[in-house]
Amino acid sequence: MYVIREVLNCRPGKVRELAAKFRVISSALQESGRPSLRLLTDLSGERFWTLVVEAQVETVDEFLALEQSLMANESVRSAMAGYHDIIERGRREIYRIEA
């Protein structure tokens, strides 16, 4: 089992807008019978306007296939329009769950 985490640093004041986009993805996942995403915002202050998006999957290949299938969904594509305009930078972290 893996946790895949996207750590996204938004332009100032844009984290809520980005979270709304990922809520659409989370809803699409639930409609297809998959677990929803976990959405977290940073309160530490090291880097304000950070959104962390977590997904739990059995394999990394499953995540990559899921990512492709989501982009085939018209409501997800529509919701993610303008995504790159509100992100300053980001990274993907992949963790294997050991216990």
Residue 11 identity (one-letter amino acid)? R
pTM above 0.75, yes or no: yes
Q: Give residue 73's pLDDT.
A: 86
**Could you give the CA distance from residue 13 to residue 58 in angstroms, rounded to a whole number?**
34
- pLDDT, tens only, 20-72: 999 999 998 888 888 899 999 988 777 789 999 999 999 999 999 988 888 88
CATH classification at residue 11 = 3.30.70.100
List of residues 6+ apart from 46 with CB closer than 8 A = none
Q: Give residue 47's pLDDT.
A: 75
Q: Give residue 48's pLDDT.
A: 84
Q: Give residue 71's pLDDT.
A: 85
Distance of CA 8 to the CA centre of its chain: 9
Structural domains counted in the chain: 1
Distance of CA 97 to the CA centre of its chain: 18
Structure-token match 């297809």, residue found? 32
More reliable by pLDDT, 97 or 72:
97
Residues in the chain: 99
CB 75 within 8 A of CB 28: yes
Q: Give residue 90's pLDDT.
A: 95
Q: Domain containing 18: what range?
A: 2-96
pLDDT band at 12 (very low <50, low <70, confident <90, very high): very high
